[in-house]
Amino acid sequence: MSEQQTLLNSKAELIVSSFNLIKIFANAIIYSVVLFLGFLVLKIDPDWITIIIVFIMLLVYFFMKDFMLYRQAKKAIRSQYDYLISKRPNISLYIPIIGKNGLMLYMKKAALFIDNDHLFLEAFDQQAFKQTPTKSISMPHGDDFIIKALQPDKRKPYYLVTSSIKEHDYEFIIPDDQFVIDYINSKINTPDKEVV
């Protein structure tokens, strides 16, 4: 795996699960205060031991949640990459794509990749409890799959991608990587028509 590929994978992992201890502590404190206020509204007089136990439980919960999301993202990226390399050993770059549902970010069961200077979308048929994809289909950038626009996020290190698959809108997120952004920007105005 190249250094550029490793860096891109790491950026995607951090986007999906920003494992941040300050955020974990802040969430635990906020939720503890809300629970304490809830106790007061319900006229339940909590003692300090209860408050400390609730705080520790929330701390463990938020830590485990972020840790599991990070492990899940890392495993999904690695299994998609390994499957894609076994299917097409000569790809130049695998670009993990991320979905967004409200505030939650997650790894999509698809990826972009570059092969012989052509951009492709790979959709994986990955079952819920299987670690590696069992099959996939590739769609070249061109007639059926078109990237329409890239827009940088104002606060996070990623780009929002607007695309279409067979005239149906398909939006996703890619990590902020200058090579990838420049490459995709070059393809927006000149879609690949012929794929080897």
Query: CA neighbours within 13 Å on the CB side: how many for 66?
Result: 18
Min mean pLDDT across 90-99, 104-113, 132-141, 151-160 is at: 132-141
Distance CA 36, CA 42 (A): 10
Quote the pLDDT of residue 196: 46
Domain assignment of residue 83, yes or no: no
Let me know if residue 134 belongs to a domain: yes
Does any domain span residue 41?
Answer: no
The two counts, helices (H) then strands (E), for the chain are: 4, 7
Comparing 43 with 147, the larger pLDDT belongs to 147
- Who contacts 139 (Cβ-Cβ below 8 Å, separation ≥6)? 120, 121, 122, 123, 145, 165
Could you tell me what percent of the chain has a pLDDT over 70? 92
Q: How high is the pLDDT of residue 93?
A: 92
pLDDT at res. 143 = 82
| Banded model confidence at residue 168, pLDDT cuts 50, 70, 90 | very high
Residue with tokens 């250094």: 3
Mean pLDDT on 76-103: 90
* CATH number of domain containing 169: 2.30.29
What is the pTM (predicted TM-score) of this model? Answer: 0.78
pLDDT at residue 94 tops 90: yes
Please check whether residue 62 lies inside any domain of the structure: no
Give the chain's domain count: 1
Is 47 a domain residue? no
Residue 76 lies in a domain: no
Share of the chain above pLDDT 90, in %: 36
Residue 159 counted as domain residue: yes
Domain span at residue 165 reads 90-189
